Amino acid sequence: MSCYKGKYADELIANAAYIGTPGKGILAADESTGTIGKRLASINVENVETNRRALRELLFTAPGVLQYLSGVILFEETLYQKTAAGKPFVDVLKEGGVLPGIKVDKGTVELAGTNGETTTQGLDGLAQRCQQYYKAGARFAKWRAVLNIGANEPSQLSINENANGLARYAIICQENGLVPIVEPEILVDGSHDINKCADVTERVLAVVYKALNDHHVLLEGTLLKPNMVTPGSDAPKVAPEVVAEHTVRALQRTMPPAVPAVVFLSGGQSEEEATLNLNAMNKLKTKKPWTLSFSFGRALQQSTLKAWAGKDENIKKAQDALLTRCKANSEATLGTYQGASALSEGASESLHVKDYKY
Amino acid sequence: MSSFKGKYADELIANAAYIATPGKGILAADESTGTIGKRLASINVENVEANRRGLRELLFTAPGVLQYLSGVILFEETLYQKTAAGKPFVDVLKEGGVLPGIKVDKGTVELAGTNVETTTQGLDGLAQRCQQYYNAGARFAKWRAVLKIGPNEPSQLAINENANGLARYAIICQENGLVPIVEPEILVDGSHDINKCADVTERVLAAVYKALNDHHVLLEGTLLKPNMVTPGSDSAKVAPEVIAEHTVRALQRTMPAAVPAVVFLSGGQSEEEATLNLNAMNKLKTKKPWTLSFSFGRALQQSTLKAWAGKDENIKKAQDALLTRCKANSEATLGTYQGSGILSEGASESLHVKDYKY
């Protein structure tokens, strides 16, 4: 048997296609407790459950925002939380035409004998967890594999191990009704140029898609969440058109057309950078048999977070900031974004954190 | 380095794109001396050089035919032959806007420990041979790998060995200016159904494209020559639309968009069958970021051969038959073929030969 044909096949294909709707994208709100704590700390808000709940309520109930989203990725705690009025978040999302998603990996661990390279854990009992998440309303999942570029990195071991982990995760999700977002993030850290990033990205994606084929994953029921192809964080920046050209070419060389959509990670780019790069890709006149959209965390929430600062009286201002970024990225998926004349505070701020873990 | 960026890169990309011109396709006229002998024997013509030359002159000078072709694959002997009037065949083709191609493999040998599975030889001195062929006017090459479907076939060994051979051949061609046509033929022999063929085709193509990536092949400067996805020769036939759906889906799941075109082999289908199947693929409304065209040998020449029967007085009739099939297949690449009202003798004759070697 070449690929999954089980009971969820049609539903997986339909949900993956829905997430790939042009004009929509994903809000990645799946920061683990530790990571969201850092975000809250940056605006002097205490990392307690009520504050984590309140932040997510601010995001999910922001007027006008859900129309620009096809999915929201949640952390496990959030999947079971409700609005202050008692409405489950998953219902808020579903009523807004947004599919709830769930982060299912359990973070990275180091690979012995490598120079700090990692693999991702989370396969143990994953089938049962997926079933529970499906019952709770989740319809897609996310698993982040991390690679880095260095003198001898990524190593063949790291590429193989991470690709295999992604493939095992993906087929288990599909067997249990969740569309797997496949995320092989190649960190932007380093002084390498864009061509090096392109070479590594193409090599990694080729391995990933071979692994998915080996494990009988139904490509029409998956999504890819890759890094954009850019220079390293310590190298000079290039224009969005250059990022677009290299990124789309890398996908043309490795990603089968059966995959319905790519939802890029923002990986430390500022809000505006990420939007401009996505926009440039969608303006490019070349073969693109998949939707090119977003799955942004920091690049959707930065201005919102700063505007909120943890104060109720700022909620409306914060929600307006989120709406601005969602609308901008929606336009970017259509190649119609005109650029922001007056950027919110934080919109052009680099969100790069060296060797990012979350 | 992820893919070939040598001195021929731009030329390879341009030539591959030219071969992908909608409305055109490839005439596979590269039968080895032994194989063309069988064809000539079937019409009672002696297998001598003059007759082999006479047949190819008939094909290449047929009025109106070259406009429907972007390439012709030649056997080595033919590359250096001329018309009776003394004009080199490569010049006849070039003046007609047709790229000359060259078969570079040296046939198959059995893999020990398998159930008569094979690999293809021809890598020794291939670089030098490609240079000579390029100097003689060739601009693309062909290498046929052969796999079969059985209870335990194709084995992982056969898939890996043939995929690796194709990748080595491909990069050597590119280093020497020839666009490699990558041909992983899965024989139609057997009683399996179309789903089995689809599964095997997807598995094989995934292995092939992984190997091409591993060997740094520039996909934009290659072409694929696969089998269509069909039931086995001993199995019940299905409609062209079914073949189209399974074939295109297999390509969607495995072939990156960077490849400019697919030029299908006819593999024993009758002339009319092959044309109808190709036409159905081009009518299909689905993602197809590559041209779908033909590289037919038997399915372009059968009627022509029968009409010629080795007699000069039949040349015009034979050339008309070739024109009919070329025009039909040209229309099939555009999805506009209406079917033939009156088929030439031989057009609906199955051309299947069990365990075909050529």
Chain A residues 180-219 with a CB less than 8 Å from chain B: 198-200, 202-203, 206-207, 209-210, 213-214, 219
Percent of all residues in chain B with a pLDDT value above 70, rounded to a whole number = 97
Q: Is A249's Cβ below 8 Å from some Cβ in B?
A: yes
Sign of the CA dihedral running B169, B173, B174, B179: negative
What is the model's pTM?
Answer: 0.89
CA angle B5–A290–B222, rounded 5-degree value? 30
Provide mean pLDDT across the span B131-158: 97
| A40: enclosing H helix or E strand | helix A33-42
Chain B residues in contact with A288 by the CB 8 A cut-off are 257, 289
Lowest-confidence range among B107-116, B241-250, B344-353? Answer: B344-353
Lowest-confidence range among A162-166, A310-314, B102-106, B344-348? Answer: B344-348
How does residue B1 score in pLDDT terms, banded at 50, 70 and 90? Answer: very low
pLDDT of residue A78: 97
pLDDT one-digit tens code per residue, B223-261: 999 999 999 999 999 999 999 999 999 999 999 999 999
Rounded to a whole number of angstroms, the distance from the CA of B219 to the nearest CA of chain A is: 7
Active site residue B225: yes
**pLDDT at B115 > cutoff 50:** yes
Provide mean pLDDT across the span B2-15: 89
* Alpha-carbon span A250 to B190, nearest angstrom: 38
- Residue-by-residue DSSP string for B9-44: HHHHHHHHHHHT-TT-EEEEE---HHHHHHHHHHTT
Structure tokens at B316: 């015009």
Report helix, strand or coil for A26: strand
CB A79 within 8 A of CB A137: yes
CB A163 within 8 A of CB A203: no
User: Hey, are the CB atoms on A253 and B289 less than 8 Å from each other?
Assistant: no
Given B210, B252, B258, which is nearest A252 (Cβ)? B258
Structure tokens at B48: 């001598």
Which residue among the candidates A57, A117, A183, A331 is catalytic per the annotation?
A183
Active site residue A103: no
Each residue's pLDDT expressed in tens, for chain A with a length of 358 residues: 467 878 999 999 999 999 999 999 999 999 999 999 999 999 999 999 999 999 999 999 999 999 999 999 999 999 999 999 999 999 999 999 999 999 999 999 999 889 999 999 999 999 999 999 999 999 999 999 999 999 999 999 999 999 999 999 999 999 999 999 999 999 999 999 999 999 999 999 999 999 999 999 999 999 999 999 999 999 999 999 999 999 999 999 999 999 999 999 999 899 999 999 999 999 999 999 999 999 999 999 999 999 999 999 999 999 999 999 999 999 999 999 998 765 566 677 777 877 665 4
For B255-294, the three-class secondary structure string (H helix, E strand, C coil) is: CCCCCCEEEECCCCCCHHHHHHHHHHHHHCCCCCCCEEEE
Which residues share a beta bridge with A140?
A101, A179
Which residue among the candidates B57, B161, B183, B272 is catalytic per the annotation?
B183
User: Hey, are the CB atoms on A252 and B256 less than 8 Å from each other?
Assistant: yes
Chain A residues in contact with B154 by the CB 8 A cut-off are none
Q: Is B141's Cβ below 8 Å from some Cβ in A?
A: no
DSSP A259: S
pLDDT of residue B32: 94
Which residue among the candidates B225, B245, B271, B272 is catalytic per the annotation?
B225
Tell me how many helices (H) and strands (E) chain A has: 12, 10
Radius of gyration for chain B, computed over Cα atoms and rounded to the nearest angstrom: 19
Provide mean pLDDT across the span B325-340: 95
User: Hey, are the CB atoms on A202 and B213 less than 8 Å from each other?
Assistant: yes
How many residues make up chain B in this entry? 358
Given A3, A206, A256, which is nearest B213 (Cβ)? A206
For residue A298, what are the CA distances in angstroms to A146, A153, A214, A304, A316? Answer: 17, 26, 34, 10, 19
How does residue B336 score in pLDDT terms, banded at 50, 70 and 90? Answer: very high
pLDDT of residue B240: 98
Q: Which of A228, A282, A223, A217 is nearest to A255 (CA)?
A: A223
* Alpha-carbon span B271 to B298, nearest angstrom: 8
Q: Is B254's Cβ below 8 Å from some Cβ in A?
A: yes
Rounded to a whole number of angstroms, the distance from the CA of B170 to the nearest CA of chain A is: 16
CB neighbours of A125 closer than 8 A, spacing ≥ 6? none
Tell me how many helices (H) and strands (E) chain B has: 12, 10
B70, B260, B253, A107: CA torsion to nearest 10 = 160
Report helix, strand or coil for A241: helix
Helix axes A33-42, A298-308, angle to 10 degrees: 50
What ipTM was estimated for this complex? 0.83
pLDDT of residue B5: 78
